[in-house]
Amino acid sequence: MNIIVLAIDSFKGCLSSVAAEEAAAKGIKSVFPQCDIISVPVSDGGEGLLSSFSRGLKYRVLSVDAHDPLMNNIKTDYLLLDDESTAYIEIAKICGLALVPLSRRNPMVTSSYGIGELISDAVHRGCKHIIVGLGGSATNDAGVGMLQALGYRFYDNDRQLLQQGGEVLQHISYIESDSVSSLIDGIHFTVACDVDAPLYGESGASYVFAKQKGASPEMIVELDKGLRNFSDVINQNFGIDVAFSYGAGAAGGIGAAFRGFLNADFISGIELVLEINHFDELISGADFVITGEGRLDKQTLMGKVPFGILSHAKKFHVPVIALSGSISDEHLLLEAGFHSLFTINPPGISLSVAMQPDYASSRIQSTVFSILSSL
* Tens digit of each residue's pLDDT (9 = 90 or more) over 227-266: 999 999 999 888 889 999 989 999 999 999 999 999 999 9
Residue 361 and residue 230 in one domain: no
Give me the pLDDT at residue 55, please: 75
At residue 161, the pLDDT reads 97
**pLDDT value, residue 152:** 96
Pair 288, 262 in one domain: no
CATH number at residue 162: 3.90.1510.10
> What is the model's pLDDT at position 305?
92
| Same domain flag for 175 and 303 | no
Residue after which a domain boundary falls, among 269, 295, 320: 269
Residue 45 belongs to a domain: no
- Measured distance CA(22)–CA(15) in Å, rounded: 10
Rounded Cα distance between 269 and 251, Å, is 13
Whole-Å CA distances, 249 to 149, 187, 196, 236: 20, 23, 7, 19
Pick out the chain residues at pLDDT < 50: none
Please tell me the distance from the alpha carbon of residue 184 to that of residue 232, in angstroms, as a whole number: 24
Question: What is the domain range of residue 18?
Answer: 3-40+278-373
Same domain, 25 and 170: no
How far is residue 19's CA from residue 11's CA, in Å, rounded to a whole number? 9
Quick count: other Cβ atoms within 10 Å of Cβ 208? 16
The domain tally of the chain equals 2
Q: Do 21 and 73 share a domain, yes or no?
A: no
Quick check: is 347 in a domain?
yes
188's CB contacts (< 8 A; 6+ apart) are: 128, 129, 130, 265
